[in-house]
Structure 1
Amino acid sequence: MNKTFILFGDSLVSGYGVDFKDSWANCLSSFLHIPILNKGINGDTTASMLNRFYIDVSLNIPYELFIMGGTNDLLCGRTVSSIVSNIEEMIKESKCTTYIGIPPFVVKETAEKIFMPSTLYTHCEDSLPLLRTELIKLCTKYSLDYVDFYVLTNNNLDKNIYIDGIHLNELGHALMLKEFLKVVRQ
């Protein structure tokens, strides 16, 4: 039986901003002792994720699946309902144990200075708590476990865990890994 665990999402899954060896997704294989297939793509939206779901997930027949996206959607001005709808479609297509990730908090002021200027950071910052609530409802509906990176990062803002207000540094990745393992243990 295929024991592959697929991580599916955007740059927060792919490990953008840190050395590969330090990314939470890469470090995960040391703890789960099964093959990890990272299908995170920098800048991806949930609409794009839905479009590539068949090739990146279904054809790989994972044993377990982690899905996280939505930050880039919000930074493109999309609605929470469109994100939740796309993630729900992915859940319906998954044929394995599935976990949902709740995207991290975004530090608007830092992102504007370091990552890139945007008029949509306020929309993102205001919408992330609603996205969290709606994703938890979706997980309840489908009896899925979720990893709450939003609360984790919001509670650790005093620890300098970001490189640019959106992406996390090595400490942030270590915290994400620890939080992930609280929910997903083999």
Structure 2
Amino acid sequence: MHTDSTTFRGTIMNILCIGDSLTYGYGVGRSETWCALASQLTGHEFINKGVNGATTGEMAEQQLYGDEVLVMGGLNNFFMGMPVSVPLADIRSICERAVNLGIRPVVGIPMQISPNVSEAWCEGPIDMDIVRSAYAEFACALLQQCLNDGTEYIDFRPVIGPEYLSFDGIHLNRCGHEHMANAVAAHWNARRK
């Protein structure tokens, strides 16, 4: 198990990235995702296991492997009307399981969706004001949970603004993936210093 920053100097790591469409890279090519770009920027292997439409419960069922795991999700839970407590518990469970397997967990605090998201593309009636409010509450609560638990995190909220989202106001555009990759690379490269 990796226990301190010196372990990472000169070591190529396999970082499992589990999440939803924001990790998968909905709307861009495989070589344009933040996972692929972060691999190029760091020399580490960011293994993209994002699944379009996945909830955090589905993420929690994925097999964990590699040196580290980066987990980010939650939005699909709110599309389904789940309370904030559900993705918080799921992400904590993933992190605890990773630690027990000797894998270092890192949590992505998700960027927020645009205020202009269209409800037209969603299946069924969805109140985007409720979703947006729950997602913002979740991000704040997830950050506090990470601080309380001593879990590493990357806060993407100050990194990704509306200009880095695609036409739907939810998914990243190419520039958004580049900005995400830069933030991820900065986090991992800082350990080498």
Aligned equivalent of 2:38, options 6, 21, 28? 28
**Aligned alpha-carbon RMSD (Å):** 2.0
* Aligned equivalents of 1:37, 1:71: Cα separation in 2: 21
| Equivalence for 1:111 | 118
| Equivalence for 2:17 | 7
Partner amino acid, structure 1, of 2:46: I
The one-character-per-residue Cα deviations of 1:48-104 (angstroms, maximum 9, x if unpaired) are 11122xx2x1xx3x1111000101101111111111011111111003221101122
Gaps of 5+ in 2: 1-10
SS in 2 for 1:92: helix
Native 8 Å contact 2:12 2:43 kept in 1: no
Partner amino acid, structure 1, of 2:83: T
Gaps of 5+ in 1: none
Q: TM-score, normalised by structure 2?
A: 0.83
* Aligned equivalents of 1:8, 1:168: Cα separation in 2: 16
Q: TM-score, normalised by structure 1?
A: 0.85
Identity %: 26
* Aligned equivalents of 2:109, 2:118: Cα separation in 1: 19
* Aligned equivalents of 1:69, 1:160: Cα separation in 2: 18
Deviation (angstroms), 1:38: 1.1
Q: Which runs of 4+ in 1 moved over 6 A?
A: none
Residue correspondence of structure 1 range 55-94 to structure 2 within 5 A: 55=63, 57=64, 60=65, 62-94=66-98
More helix by share: 1
Native 8 Å contact 2:117 2:169 kept in 1: yes
Deviation (angstroms), 1:169: 0.7
SS in 1 for 2:168: coil
